[in-house]
Structure 1
Amino acid sequence: MDNKLAGLPPLDDSYELTNEQTEAYRRDGHILLRGVVNGAELEAYRPVIRDLVMELNYQTKPMHERDTYGKAFIQIINLWRKSEAAKRFVLARRFGKIAAELMGVDAVRVYHDQALFKEPGGGHTPWHQDQIYWPLDTDKTITMWMPLVPIPEEVGSMTFASESQRKGLIDRVEISDESHRTLQQYIDGKGFRKVNYGAMAAGDATFHSGWTLHAAQGNPTDAMREVMTIIYYADGLTVAEPDSKARQNDMRAFFPGLKPGDLAATELNPVVYRK
């Protein structure tokens, strides 16, 4: 075994959820869980993820020359395919079990992971629904969003529109100034309760449904907001008809070789937990 792998904690044990937590997630479409990864574990994995992001970062434009999406974060996708050490983190049974139990399913697959590093002075992330990008017709999708460094109050967690996941698809508009304006009006009009969990410790994590409306504040600090995310979906789903360019692109990228109606399962989508 590689020496680097030998020193990495396996993350195979369970994080125990309460009935109140699973009920809250299913009601609100989001939840904050404290201490999903502990300090020693984070000390082992954070350098792996951080170094990969810095190595693979393609963003060269200065902040003032970028569009709203480009100002929001450095985004690196599928780190687990680029490093055996990152693979151990992304495919961790602990995280998959939480995802399955929150959704109430027996097994979950990874859709993809993505590092989202918001630079000092980075802009806000507009209101959006993740699942407008995913060719999956289901409510059994979930994203884990985990800071690798402490996040202060002025940066905070993401902000969620509670119970908005119950509406399913609201608008196909992709992450942009338009999505922020349109969906902010929708949220205010429907009277959804907006929740921001404030400061988060490294290793805390939020989980939210693919249909839950959410946004994030900018980063006014001089420190990088280092966040790792993993998207899961219930095992046994089929690929939906890609009814937008965004979903067509995602189908090619994350379900290569599949067509609508096929079982949503490729080598890019391993099962990470089965009850």
Structure 2
Amino acid sequence: MADLLKAETVAEFRAKGATVLRAVFDDWMEVLRAGVDYNLEHPAPNARDYRTEEGGRFLSDYCNWDRIPQYRDFIENSTAAQIGSELMGSRTVRLFHEHVIVKTPKTGMPTPWHQDLPYYCLDATQTVSLWIPMDAVPRERTLEFVAGSHLWGKYFRPQRFDGTALNENDGLEALPDIDGDRDAYDIIGWALEPGDAVAFDYRTVHGAPANNSATAQRRAFSLRLVGDDATFARREGIKTSPPFEGVTLAHGAPLEGPEFPLLL
């Protein structure tokens, strides 16, 4: 099978922990928008659904691929798995979960700086999230990354979207004040069009500004993929997100089972 990505794109992903992929999912926008629209009307019981005083809505929902057919169609039939394989350098690609975040107009709530991996019941070095916007995203409202932070060798304390700690005494280091000293970091991000995607490592520090626009919404579908070395992690006394409460895998077992289907 011919490679889909240029060598320099793969190199940027591995060196900086994030890269942009232009127009890779143009043909899937109608399908994904239909799935996200259904998700907005039918959020899962554990969804985070915030409403602001200005009338905005911030929905964060995940693990709906088995009940929303458009999500399953994209996951199983798009080029996402092959793209993930090339970026991770992995022979196999497995679904960890999908995640939808919608910021409607006047959603004055930023996504705080964080890493994804410390939230997860997962240990892995071969990881990639594909963040796919349904709407045009200008640079000032786009997802931002601290380039190279996936190579710092640190896990930072997970936070809820309201900024409170997910686990108060998890023993992890607090994130530095990135916004208080932005010039000290190599912060990267891209203006995006529907059909583009941003790919990033689960260890890369990232965040997003509030959507203070009076008219523009920002709908995004994220696909979390893992490679050959992914194992299940039991973190006793620690909340993980998603919780995957029904998974019975032992700590250190290969990540497999119906919740985590093999895609490639």
* Fold equivalence (TM over 0.5): yes
**Which residue in the other structure is 1:124 paired with?**
110
Deviation at 1:27, TM superposition (A): 0.2
Whole-angstrom CA distance in 2 between matches of 1:103 and 1:42? 24
Whole-angstrom CA distance in 1 between matches of 2:124 and 2:117? 9
Deviation at 1:134, TM superposition (A): 1.2
Letter in 2 for 1:216: A
1:263 and 2:254 correspond: yes
The answer to whether the 8 Å contact 1:72/1:218 transfers is: no
SS at match of 1:183: coil
SS at match of 1:87: helix
**Aligned partner of 2:52 among 46, 63, 69:** 63
**Which residue in the other structure is 2:28 paired with?**
41
Deviation at 1:93, TM superposition (A): 4.7
The answer to whether the 8 Å contact 2:130/2:200 transfers is: yes
**Aligned partner of 2:71 among 64, 67, 86:** 86
**Which residue in the other structure is 1:8 paired with?**
none
Whole-angstrom CA distance in 1 between matches of 2:2 and 2:100? 23
Whole-angstrom CA distance in 2 between matches of 1:133 and 1:83? 24
Moved more, 136-145 or 182-191: 182-191
Question: What's the CA shift string for 1:121-150, capped at 9, x where partnerless?
Answer: 221100000011112222212111000122
**Which residue in the other structure is 2:5 paired with?**
17
**Which residue in the other structure is 1:224 paired with?**
217
**Which residue in the other structure is 1:139 paired with?**
125
Question: What's the CA shift string for 1:145-178, capped at 9, x where partnerless?
Answer: 00012223442x2110000000233322424536
| Structure 1: gaps (5+ residues) | 1-12
The answer to whether the 8 Å contact 2:62/2:98 transfers is: yes
Deviation at 1:99, TM superposition (A): 1.1
Letter in 1 for 2:154: L
The answer to whether the 8 Å contact 2:120/2:242 transfers is: yes
The Cα RMSD (Å) is: 2.8
Whole-angstrom CA distance in 1 between matches of 2:243 and 2:52? 30
Whole-angstrom CA distance in 2 between matches of 1:20 and 1:97? 17
1:203 and 2:195 correspond: yes
Letter in 1 for 2:22: R
**Aligned partner of 1:30 among 8, 18, 38:** 18
Whole-angstrom CA distance in 2 between matches of 1:96 and 1:177? 32
**Which residue in the other structure is 2:238 paired with?**
245
| TM-score (normalizing by structure 2) | 0.83
| TM-score (normalizing by structure 1) | 0.80
Q: Give the percent of matched residue pairs that are identical in Structure 1 and Structure 2.
A: 24
Whole-angstrom CA distance in 2 between matches of 1:133 and 1:97? 25
How many residues are paired up? 250
Structure 1 residues 166 and 50: alpha-carbon distance in aligned structure 2, compared to 1, 3 A threshold: same
Deviation at 1:56, TM superposition (A): 1.9
Question: What's the CA shift string for 1:199-254, capped at 9, x where partnerless?
Answer: 2100100011111000101112222211000101113532224156123x64634x
Whole-angstrom CA distance in 2 between matches of 1:245 and 1:127? 20
| Structure 2: gaps (5+ residues) | 166-173
**Aligned partner of 1:160 among 138, 145, 157:** 145
